[in-house]
Structure 1
Amino acid sequence: METAISAQGLRKRYGDHQALAGIDLSVPTGTVLGVLGPNGAGKTTTVRILATLLEPDEGSAVVAGYDLATQPREVRASIGLTGQYAAVDERLTGRENLQLIGVLLHLGRRGARQRAAELLERFDLVDAADRQAKTYSGGMRRRLDLAASLVARPPVLFLDEPTTGLDLTSRLTLWDMIREQVAGGVTVLLTTQYLEEADQLADRIAVIDKGLVIADGTPDELKRKVGGERLEVSVSDAADLAAVARCLADVVPGEPAVDREGRTVSVPLEGGMRTIAAAAVGLEALGLEPEDFAVHRSSLDDVFLALTGQRGRAEAAGQPQPAGPEAQAEQAQYTTKEKQAV
């Protein structure tokens, strides 16, 4: 399989802060790479470098077959970019925004009008096409922003936290649109703080922390790294926890994990159905009726928490975290002018 995005040893420093400490990435053509990491980890700096908006201090990269250092114009002609903040002109209508970008991309006035009409139809913005963008809802602005990044039909698409702040319906709509692009052969690099989003969309996931890729693999591979499946038994009476723990210890080698507050005992599910059956028989022999008896599979929340030590569930819920030096610098520098330059 061909590689659409390749990066080796990318480094970037903001003053005394090392934003990237040697990032290596590889994204096969027609796939989605999800990039996860806490605020300030280096996600947006990586996107900005690969989109030619920022020069690395060290390292090299090839995007859509073009070298980042020697062929930046060709790279820009081959990519689309949707950043963390919608970069649309609020004084223009949705149609005018898309037509303007088409003209700037040398589609010609007729070609720009035709492409704008196609995208307005596809992104369900026809009814609002001739309203000023400032009247759009948050979800509509993000759809328009994504449409703008697709005017030139780029083979590579960078999406930097594209659904942050959207309601569930708008997020699901954007997910479908992203899947459609990938089905058409587009390669996507997606940064996100919604772990479910990465699980739903990404073929592979790279976890970045402190400017380095600390884990890389498919969602299932990463989940297996932090413990795979576990059998969890919950009881209504905390007094039964000791008996449940002894029962499960007879079924699976090792010490069961006991959560007294949650009244739950869990063990690694190493033997599959045999372990489940033996545990059920053992509990029945003790006369214990569990409140809950379930197999728990590690989630990306568990992966994120285990790998970075951050509150993955807080990020998955969209709760803000304090911005580090990199995040503050990026927010100040990521402008509409830069987006239009792409």
Structure 2
Amino acid sequence: MTDTTAAIEVRDIRKAYGELKAVDGVSFTVAEGEFFGILGPNGAGKTTTLEIIEGLREPDSGEVRLLGESPFPRNPALLPRIGVQLQASAFFEKLTAREQLLTFASLYGVDSARADEMLELVGLTEKAATREEKLSGGQRQRLSIACALVHDPDVVFLDEPTAALDPQARRNLWDVLRAIQARGKTICYTTHYLDEAEILCDRVAIMDRGRVLALDAPATLVRGLDAPTRVSLERGALTAEDARALAGAEHAHEDELSLTITTRTPAPLLSALAERGALDGLQVRTATLEDVFLDLTGREYRA
């Protein structure tokens, strides 16, 4: 990846607060138009890393280039080119959703048509006349993202945009994020929802204790794990002893509800189960990003 295609370049940045190393030698590059995720549990250093890239914090050492320029000290030339949605969003009191967007638009010299376009993008056109405090949590999150996008920035920073949302609101917001990337924008976001990142991101950096543990496309990280596939059947479909004798089966374990067979060659195993008529209630689970995280850290993933 050459410098001409890099929207973000991070080189060995570090930030400590006393004995706590919040960011401890982080490096990565984000290409223009890429959806890049920074993943990890609370306290991993995700937000601090993002704030350094945005120019909100000064690193103790290291270098950041954002759209070819240094974001710190505060760089006025970059402000119209970036959009930032923080973990905690603050809105102007007693304004409707449309008035909120119009106010943000006026700060950037953007006309009202753009504000209406953003309301449509995030699915809030019908809520245009609703005051912000009357919106649901998911609607407020979408409004926050619209405010970050109203001036048509080149790079969008989103810090846990789906946190505390219900499953339906999360998935609605996924559609908004896909639409943002489809407009050619670079997205850099943090999350501790690994399933979400696996669906949305082109590449991810998995962080913990201020360090990047792995960085690649989600599918590449999962393939590199070489984890077995788990096939679960309803209890009673087969005995554990019979399951272990099937082609491709490595191990079989039975509990009160189901029989689970592990395999690294699922095709012959599934074929053997089909021949025995044992496909009722069958579930197949392959490795996920969560498995990658557990393999890297050797401990539970902390939300």
Structure 1 pair 215/142, CA: closer, same or farther in 2 (3 Å)? same
CA distance in structure 2 between the aligned counterparts of 1:87 and 1:205, rounded to whole angstroms: 28
Q: Higher RCO, 1 or 2 (CA under 8 Å, sep at least 6)?
A: 1
Q: CA deviation at 1:68?
A: 2.9
Give the structure with the larger helix fraction.
Answer: 1
The aligned counterpart of 1:306 is 295
CA distance in structure 1 between the aligned counterparts of 2:61 and 2:135, rounded to whole angstroms: 41
Q: CA deviation at 1:291?
A: 6.2
The aligned counterpart of 2:15 is 12
CA distance in structure 2 between the aligned counterparts of 1:162 and 1:189, rounded to whole angstroms: 11
Give the 3-state SS of the residue equivalent to 2:77 in structure 1.
helix
Q: 2:34 aligns with which of 31, 35, 40?
A: 31
CA distance in structure 1 between the aligned counterparts of 2:71 and 2:140, rounded to whole angstroms: 30
Q: 2:251 aligns with which of 243, 257, 272?
A: 257
Equivalent position amino acid for 1:12 in 2: K
CA distance in structure 2 between the aligned counterparts of 1:151 and 1:164, rounded to whole angstroms: 22
Equivalent position amino acid for 1:97 in 2: Q
Deviation sequence 1:109-147 (CA, Å, 0-9, x none): xx4433222222332323332332111111111111000
Structure 1 pair 265/152, CA: closer, same or farther in 2 (3 Å)? same
Structure 1 pair 140/290, CA: closer, same or farther in 2 (3 Å)? closer
CA distance in structure 2 between the aligned counterparts of 1:56 and 1:251, rounded to whole angstroms: 51
Q: CA deviation at 1:280?
A: 4.5
CA distance in structure 2 between the aligned counterparts of 1:144 and 1:291, rounded to whole angstroms: 45
The aligned counterpart of 1:123 is 122
Gaps of 5+ in 2: none
Q: 1:297 aligns with which of 272, 286, 290?
A: 286
* TM-score, scaled to structure 1: 0.78
Structure 1 pair 112/260, CA: closer, same or farther in 2 (3 Å)? same
Structure 1 pair 27/92, CA: closer, same or farther in 2 (3 Å)? same
Give the 3-state SS of the residue equivalent to 2:90 in structure 1.
coil
Deviation sequence 1:244-269 (CA, Å, 0-9, x none): 22x15x747xxx33434353231222
The aligned counterpart of 1:266 is 262
* TM-score, scaled to structure 2: 0.87
CA distance in structure 2 between the aligned counterparts of 1:257 and 1:60, rounded to whole angstroms: 49
2:136 aligned with 1:137: yes
Judge conservation of contact 1:12–1:58 (CA < 8 Å) in 2.
yes
CA distance in structure 2 between the aligned counterparts of 1:142 and 1:290, rounded to whole angstroms: 42
Deviation sequence 1:298-318 (CA, Å, 0-9, x none): 122222322234544x74xxx
The aligned counterpart of 1:156 is 155
Give the 3-state SS of the residue equivalent to 2:290 in structure 1.
helix
Q: CA deviation at 1:67?
A: 2.2
Judge conservation of contact 2:55–2:73 (CA < 8 Å) in 1.
no
Number of residues paired by the alignment? 298
Give the superposed CA RMSD.
Answer: 2.7
Deviation sequence 1:8-28 (CA, Å, 0-9, x none): 111111222110111111111
CA distance in structure 2 between the aligned counterparts of 1:264 and 1:23, rounded to whole angstroms: 39
Equivalent position amino acid for 1:41 in 2: A
CA distance in structure 2 between the aligned counterparts of 1:126 and 1:219, rounded to whole angstroms: 34
The aligned counterpart of 1:64 is 67
Gaps of 5+ in 1: 316-342
CA distance in structure 2 between the aligned counterparts of 1:302 and 1:18, rounded to whole angstroms: 26
Give the 3-state SS of the residue equivalent to 2:102 in structure 1.
helix
CA distance in structure 1 between the aligned counterparts of 2:34 and 2:254, rounded to whole angstroms: 43
Structure 1 pair 209/9, CA: closer, same or farther in 2 (3 Å)? same
Equivalent position amino acid for 1:196 in 2: D
The aligned counterpart of 1:184 is 183
**Higher mean C-alpha displacement, 299-308 vs 10-19:** 299-308
Equivalent position amino acid for 1:192 in 2: T
Structure 1 pair 84/244, CA: closer, same or farther in 2 (3 Å)? same
Structure 1 pair 82/310, CA: closer, same or farther in 2 (3 Å)? farther
Judge conservation of contact 1:9–1:24 (CA < 8 Å) in 2.
yes
